[in-house]
Amino acid sequence: MPICKAHWLGQLFNHPYLAVEATAEGPVLHIRREQHALGWKELLTPPVLERGRLFRQLVLNCRQGQLVCAWLPNTKAGVLQQQLAQGWFEYHAARVVPLAERCLALLEQGYLRHSRWQQLQQWLVQEPVQWGTLTLPEELSERVRAAFELVATLQQADDHWRKQCLQEHCEQALIEYKTLFDTLEEHPLTQAQRLACVTDEDHNLVLAGAGCGKTSVMAARTAFLLASHQAEPHELLLLAFGNEAAAEMRERLARRPENTGVQVSTFHALGMTIITQATGQAPVLSPLAQNEQEKQRTFARWLAQLAEDENYGIQLLAWLRQHRFQTVPAPDYARLAREWTPLVAALKVYGEPDDILPGQGEQLALVKPLLLRYQQHLRDAGYIDFDDMIEQATELVRSGRFAVPWQHILVDEFQDISRSRAELLLALRNAASVLSLFCVGDDWQAIYRFSGADVSLTTDFSGFFGATAMTALDTTFRFNNVIERVASRFVTRNPQQLPKELSTLNRTEGPCVHVLPVADDESMDMVARLLGQIAAQRSGASVYLLSRFRFSLPDDDLLEGWRKRFAGLTLHAQTLHGAKGKEADCVIMLGLARGRYGFPPEKKQASLLDMLLPAEEDFPYAEERRLFYVGLTRAREQVFLLADRQIPSPFVKELLEGGYSGVSRWQG
């Protein structure tokens, strides 16, 4: 390597450095009768050449401070600086090039998820040099130069830069897979549905309003992941809550042969799979868990046995007299078992509540022995129930005994999820860094708190799971603009509901939600009149009779009679909870009164079951309001609300007195 000697005038001014030499290991400074070698790692920046009047000086920014080598001839100093700069960059290239390659490989995985973004930042924060502030030598190879430029860009990248990357990724995917999204369904997917399919955050929440095509999005997301080669069929898991929903999903996927191998499961079947694979032995599910009626009969028998104990029997009769006004010596154990079966399940899952009222404490003392009998039964027989299955599966995943084979888990009807099932999803997500959750639901239709569903897992989705991309499906294919306007305003009176705006394909003018004041004993006559008018106006229409409680519905004989009388109509009757997911041209809602068994059902105080279940929301009758919304949105064209003339439902009064455009008082 050449040596650049300082001019002899430098010695007259006591300049310590006689020469600077460029070596493969770094610059060497020649001092009187000795040499001082500087390794590349000691230089914080590449050497800088500063111009003087007659000579130049080389500035070396070292860890121990700045060194200045002056009195260097112009020509040789320039060559020296280029050699040193080249050597310095090539030294760091040995570290920067692999770093850039790791970063590039991660970026090429596709959507820049939050976890990937964090990984990038973790790598880059360990890089000691800010490359964006330095000028690269021309002599660097194209590969090395590209590596420095990529790292420099990433070091300066912020959240805005990441958002731009996400937007560009989605835009490109929408263009590339336009034909797929155009042809998957009978009608092309909406823009919001397409965006939901290509968004691929670690956790994805798709808010699918009533009639917005959530099933289409589940199927389209599956098709997109396979078509874009982001996953193989066996790396996809679609989860549903019930066997019927899972069967419907399988049928939907079976229409496309490329979906062969995609796993569709219920949460319970998933729990069974995890336990079996992790332990090598399939758990034995209690017959009581699979037959609710048999479970209630067994609980009734156990209650009768418990009552044979004098102390328990006296306490039970005292509680029944006070709270059920039952004075006969023999309690109705079958009825009691029906009422207390949900209490036993909730107590088993959630444990005893912290604060309960005296009356609740007495009931709790009576229910706990029934729970102990049930738990002893499971232990003695070597059984587990569905709650045990989810809990055990979650622990097996957390302990690492189950190797998660999926890269994408898609969850339908997420608003119905319980905390235990959400914990299982979180455990699966934490056990597999590449796993992405895709959850479709609607907090406006969260109506199953009584079975353990926790709506806060939807409204505070990111608080539970972490970084989340939320997409709202904004077009409903079911009901018209008038029903949408009434229903959306009604449900969003609760400020805790996640905001979204729905547009409709079907538009009409004039009221479509009609209130019919009736006396209690006139309800069925009014239903018959309405059915006659509907049949006369539109032959072949479908009609749903819905109510909060089953006793408000017509009995089977009356319903069958109407079907024969109005043969052109398709007529069904169901409770509002059972009608979720269904639709009809017209909906007739019954039982709209005020009171304990009205809509909403009035309660003097929280029941013991309320204390055991997930916390209720602060907004009055929040879940009942959502249930009423579900009823309104089952109708494609018209809703008829049969309200008690003397004590109408507060919900109906709100519609009539709250200035709701699209609501009328029906004149018949």
Q: Could you list the residues known to form a binding site for ATP, using ranges.
A: 208-215
DSSP character string of 399-463: TT-S----SEEEESSGGG-BHHHHHHHHHHHHH-TT-EEEEEE-GGG---GGGTB-THHHHTHHH
CA–CA distance, 78 with 49 (Å, rounded to integer): 7
* Residues tagged in the binding site annotation: 208-215
Q: CB neighbours of 332 closer than 8 A, spacing ≥ 6?
A: 326
Q: Which two tokens stand for residue 109?
A: 């995985």
CA–CA distance, 99 with 95 (Å, rounded to integer): 6
Q: Are 624 and 599 in contact (CB under 8 A)?
A: yes
| CB-CB neighbours of 5 under 10 Å | 17
CA–CA distance, 337 with 282 (Å, rounded to integer): 30
Look at residue 297 and give its three-state secondary structure: helix
CA–CA distance, 299 with 302 (Å, rounded to integer): 5
CA angle 138, 139, 142 (to 5 degrees): 85
Q: Are 632 and 639 in contact (CB under 8 A)?
A: yes
Burial code (b: 16+ CB inside 10 Å, e: under 16) for 23-62 equals: beebbbbbeeeeeeebebeebeebbebeeeeebbbbebee
Q: Which two tokens stand for residue 379?
A: 């232990």
Q: Are 334 and 284 in contact (CB under 8 A)?
A: no
Q: Which two tokens stand for residue 396?
A: 């097996």
Checking phi first, is residue 110 left (phi over 0); if not, alpha (psi -120 to 50) or beta? left
Count, residues in the chain = 668
Nearest of 655, 626, 630, 650 to residue 497 by alpha carbon: 626
